[in-house]
Copies of this chain bind each other. A is one copy, B any other.
Amino acid sequence: MVKIADVARHARVSASTVSYVLSGKRPISAEVKQRVQNSITALGYHPHAGARSLASRRSNVIALVVPLRSGMHVPVLMQFAASVVTSARAHDHDVLLLTQDEGESGLRRVAGSSLADAIIVMDVELDDPRLPALRELHVPSVLIGFPADTSGLTCVDLDFVAAGAACVDHLHELGHRCVALLGSPHAVYRRGTGYATRVARGFRDAIARHDMTGSTHPCGITREAMAATVRDLLHEHPDLTGIIVHNEPIIGPLLEELRDCGRRVPDDMSVVAIGPDDLVSRFGVSGVALPADAVGSTAVELVMAKLDGEAVPAATMLHPILTVRETTAAAPLSRRRLKEKA
């Protein structure tokens, strides 16, 4: 194994000079710098990670805790993870993969042994059991998702309240006055998943602001459950012209069901979705995409800032971006009005 002393000898400098060339922590003459770099490539030198972390008290590794057994949409998890790895590498850090089932002790182990300098935790729930550990741990951490109490933490996620509102705003602009939110299964609301509730809040706020009629409907993820909910919905609200759906697995089936019920989308019924961009774009649905890449890279930026001792906000909310596709159009009623005017 080639070590720093070998490089130093080869470049006719001291070991510390090699170290400083690598870290850039002190000015080095252009000539020496060049010589050292040549020797490094000539010998194929790679600094020993362990020695480095021992001497510098920095492992240049960040731990990423992923929820492997959860009911989350898996491709999104992957996108998160990919984005975290890529961003971390851009900051010269590596990523250690931890599973949620190691729980609190996993966090303590990784932090305690200086395996990682920081921790990113995905899919945090409202009252997550790991929160106390994260607060008291001496390594910086960033959470993806919002717990009930963010004090003493750093959290990042899509602004789901704004996302819910953005969907309503979009429908309102198109002249819709009676809309519905097709949400997650009841269980998701009860178990503290935060974002489900937040979308509902954004929805209700916007409905009130625009003086519209709106109702929210938890909805199962099976085709049958969805069909039942939708039929009830159409029956109880005959003047419904817009549906906002925040429930990944039913986006596709919902479109089919509406067709089966004799409603053309978007002519008779507009549909807006909040969900993973692969899903949303695959079905050509207007809506707000879950910005997995942005969330991942933001999490890394926040972690790096904390490692540099900078102060960061407890909550970072990513602005929703609504993309208009083929499932939303002017409300039937307002189109009728337009014709009458003509």
- A residues adjacent to B (C-beta < 8 A): 44, 46-54, 59, 61, 64, 68-69, 74-75, 77-78, 81-82, 85-86, 89, 94-99, 101-102, 108-110, 112-115
Contact = CB atoms under 8 A, between A and B. Distances in A.
A49 B97 contact: no
Nearest to A56: B50
A78 B81 CA distance: 10
B98 A115 contact: no
A97 B95 contact: yes
12 contacts: A44-B112, A47-B113, A48-B113, A50-B51, A50-B114, A74-B74, A81-B97, A85-B99, A86-B99, A94-B97, A96-B96, A97-B97
A103 to B, nearest CB: 12
Contacts of A110: 94
Contacts of A109: 46
Chain copies in the assembly? 2
Contact of A49 (B53, B89, B99, B101): B53
Contacts of A115: 49, 94
Contacts of A46: 108-109, 112-114
B89 A102 contact: yes
Nearest to A55: B50
A85 B69 CA distance: 13
Given A68-B78, A96-B95, A48 B114 contact: yes
Most B CB within 10 A of own CB, among A68, A77, A110: A68
Contacts of A69: 82
A85 B59 contact: no
B44 A49 contact: no
Nearest to A84: B97
